[in-house]
Structure 1
């Protein structure tokens, strides 16, 4: 008999490192533009130490205010994994803090993302492992379960599969399916090159051509006096 909602998947297929590295130094905003501007997580999940994140999604689903499955998962992390903790957006209790994050870092975690709260914020702000969370709370978590490890989760309004590529910066977080990575990376590079030319025109010539603005105004029959 299946125990629905309480499951540990021991391992999953991780994308080739070369695919992940395609998004090194790529801005989340540009990536999102190339994904129809609908792929970023909710605005209220923010970085706590200013570090950008890049790696492979290792997913954990927990009940509100409980971290039993996070403790189980810590020993399963592989180098390059970004720990994605789907905590349902609950902010009453912290899911983890300095001790657990330090241990995850020692296991090679490339980042920690929490759709919920952390604690020990002062210590975390000085860590060199990226940590993103919805907020902080000194209230500690329960350890009762249930929960899931390495299953499909909803994080900050986005569906995340184990093995998705994770990119995060001060603008937000985005998840990329490995099969979309190569084509998407090319699109992002094209956007960056286009924006660089626009910026050069603004800085050197004081121009920013946008013919589409007047075209749109004409399309909607805007009165211009």
Structure 2
């Protein structure tokens, strides 16, 4: 007879970004990060800021993925034993909306571990407590139903969260506009591209503040054959 598999698998030693790599994204808006990755990288729009995340600036940290599954919280609970200060814990519940993925007490434990934030593709509960804890969090809304902790669950590996495959060791940048994932293998390339994005944004912002009223030069586009007047 086959033995029952373990209900919990934990990967403790995954590649982590360096402190310098994380620092390169501090204070950077999520829109800039997406532009540096060819306009992509954001999690689904349904994952929105709640509590302190609605007023805080950009938050950045190393992703630690808790693959819970629908209506489960075992992986999130176990992840609290391996996280490091400054990490961002991601709870994957496969987008399940029928139960809470986290409440204020576990969020409080995350704050006690000096995490930078929490992200889930499910709802949370205990909004008053969430606001009191003050740890930035992103979720799909509110639902007071309780999750289970029966497993199976995996910590420290990867999972699909909000339409993106996120691996532990990726960098997360999150603000009031949403949550962006920088894959570990693309961190340095994104940092390099970010400098060009910042320069372009600064130049365009100066034009707008200087009175610019239009983005396109339509007359030039017509002259080049890229556009045509139809009336």
Normalized against structure 2, the TM-score is what?
A: 0.87
After superposition, what is the alpha-carbon deviation per residue over 1:54-84, rounded to whole angstroms, capped at 9, x for unaligned?
A: 1000001112111122212212211111101
Aligned partner of 2:34 in structure 1 is: 32
Aligned partner of 1:199 in structure 2 is: 205
Residues 39-118 of structure 1: pairs in structure 2 closer than 5 A? 39-49=41-51, 50=54, 51=56, 52-118=58-124
Higher strand share: 1
Counterpart pick for 2:10 among 8, 11, 19: 8
CA contact (8 A) 1:202 1:208 kept: no
Q: Say if 1:212 and 1:80 are closer, same or farther in 2 by CA, change over 3 A.
A: farther
Q: How many residues align?
A: 225
Instruction: Give 1:43 shift.
Output: 0.4
Instruction: Give 1:153 shift.
Output: 0.8
Instruction: Give 1:213 shift.
Output: 8.9
Answering whether residue 221 of structure 2 is matched by residue 215 of structure 1, we say yes
Residue 37 of structure 1 aligns to a residue in which SS?
coil
CA distance in structure 2 between the partners assigned to 1:38 and 1:201 by the alignment: 25
Answering whether residue 123 of structure 2 is matched by residue 143 of structure 1, we say no
Q: Say if 1:126 and 1:219 are closer, same or farther in 2 by CA, change over 3 A.
A: farther
The runs of 5 or more residues in structure 2 that have no matched partner are none
Instruction: Give 1:103 shift.
Output: 0.7
The runs of 5 or more residues in structure 1 that have no matched partner are none
CA contact (8 A) 1:201 1:208 kept: no
Q: Say if 1:191 and 1:118 are closer, same or farther in 2 by CA, change over 3 A.
A: same
Residue 123 of structure 2 aligns to a residue in which SS?
strand
